[in-house]
């Protein structure tokens, strides 16, 4: 199994290859791919090796074939669409729905949840918002295995527990608090406050 850093880079490579395809570029060399993605050429070579598609010393990598090979690893088998649930429709949650809709048609947010009755039982950006009480029922019914948490820090752990009970095995957590999770659940944290504080810190040390 590739490391999570490798998967991140593969995902990025595919997106960049997609842009090249639009410009009808046939072949790409590892150092070109590396420059686009901002990694070393050695890194790009190692990553491409992981997908099992071999390039040639003459032409490098065929753009379309490489993108397909990456897809074979990253996408759900059979060409289907993966169902995703989003919990929390605050400022951030409301921004996330159209963001992913636009950018990733194969990862579809099929349901959203919020504790505020004013937001529930309405359709927003084509996705229905359910009350928090129905979370487990809906997640189970739709076969959701990926959840996005965009609730305040105080309720994030509870939400995570409910998602996992209902069958979710991967969580993208925007709540600014680390989650305690059982083994067998993968979690990726995006802590924007920490990120900004880090940028401010290092910016201070620059020139």
Nearer to a copy of itself, 11 or 32 (CB): 11
CA distance 142 to 136: 10
Instruction: By CB under 7 A, name the one of 11, 43, 155, 157 that touches DNA.
Output: 43
Q: Which of 62, 56, 53, 51 is nearest to 21 (CA)?
A: 62
Q: Check residue 25 for interaction with DNA (CB under 7 A).
A: no
The DSSP secondary-structure symbol of 79 reads S
Contact 109, 100 (CB under 8 A): yes
158 Cβ contact partners less than 8 Å away, ≥ 6 residues apart: none
* Four-point Cα dihedral 142, 147, 148, 153, nearest 10: 120
- When CB distances are held under 5 to 8 angstroms depending on the partner's kind, the choice from DNA, a copy of itself, none that residue 72 binds is none
Q: Check residue 5 for interaction with DNA (CB under 7 A).
A: yes
Max Cα distance, the chain (Å): 62
CA distance 4 to 188: 10
Q: Check residue 50 for interaction with a copy of itself (CB under 8 A).
A: no
Instruction: By CB under 8 A, name the one of 28, 60, 61, 94 that touches a copy of itself.
Output: 94
- When CB distances are held under 5 to 8 angstroms depending on the partner's kind, the choice from DNA, a copy of itself, none that residue 117 binds is none
Instruction: By CB under 7 A, name the one of 39, 115, 181, 187 that touches DNA.
Output: 39
CA distance 202 to 207: 10
Q: Check residue 194 for interaction with a copy of itself (CB under 8 A).
A: yes
Q: Check residue 187 for interaction with a copy of itself (CB under 8 A).
A: yes
SS3 content of the chain, % helix, strand, coil (to 5): 50, 20, 35
Residues binding a copy of itself: number (CB under 8 A): 61
Q: Check residue 200 for interaction with a copy of itself (CB under 8 A).
A: yes
CA distance 114 to 182: 24
Altogether, the residues listed in the chain come to a count of: 207
We find the least distance from the C-beta atom of residue 10 to a copy of itself, in angstroms, to be 9
Q: Check residue 68 for interaction with DNA (CB under 7 A).
A: no
- When CB distances are held under 5 to 8 angstroms depending on the partner's kind, the choice from DNA, a copy of itself, none that residue 40 binds is DNA
Q: Which residues bind a copy of itself (CB under 8 A)?
A: 1, 4, 7-8, 11-12, 15, 36-38, 73-74, 76, 82, 84, 91-92, 94-96, 98-100, 103-104, 107, 145-146, 148, 168-172, 176, 178-180, 184-188, 190-207
């Amino acid at each position: 199994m590739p490391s999570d850093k490798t998967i991140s880079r593969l995902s990025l490579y595919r997106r960049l290859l997609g842009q090249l395809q639009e410009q009808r570029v046939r072949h790409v060399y590892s150092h070109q791919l590396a420059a686009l993605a901002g990694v070393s050429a050695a890194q790009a070579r190692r990553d491409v090796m992981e997908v099992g598609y071999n390039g040639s010393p003459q032409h490098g990598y065929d753009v379309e074939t490489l993108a397909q090979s990456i897809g074979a690893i990253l996408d759900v088998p059979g060409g289907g669409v993966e169902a995703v649930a989003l919990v929390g429709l605050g400022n951030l949650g409301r921004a996330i729905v159209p963001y992913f809709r636009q950018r990733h048609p194969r990862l579809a947010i099929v349901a959203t949840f919020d504790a505020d009755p004013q937001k529930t039982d309405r359709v927003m950006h084509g996705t229905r918002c359910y009350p928090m009480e129905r979370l487990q029922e809906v997640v189970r019914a739709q076969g959701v295995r990926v959840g996005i948490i965009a609730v305040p820090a105080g309720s994030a752990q509870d939400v995570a527990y409910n998602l996992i009970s209902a069958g979710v095995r991967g969580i993208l957590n925007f709540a600014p608090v680390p989650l305690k999770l059982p083994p067998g659940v993968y979690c990726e944290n995006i802590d924007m406050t920490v990120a900004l504080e880090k940028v401010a810190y290092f910016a201070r040390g620059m020139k």
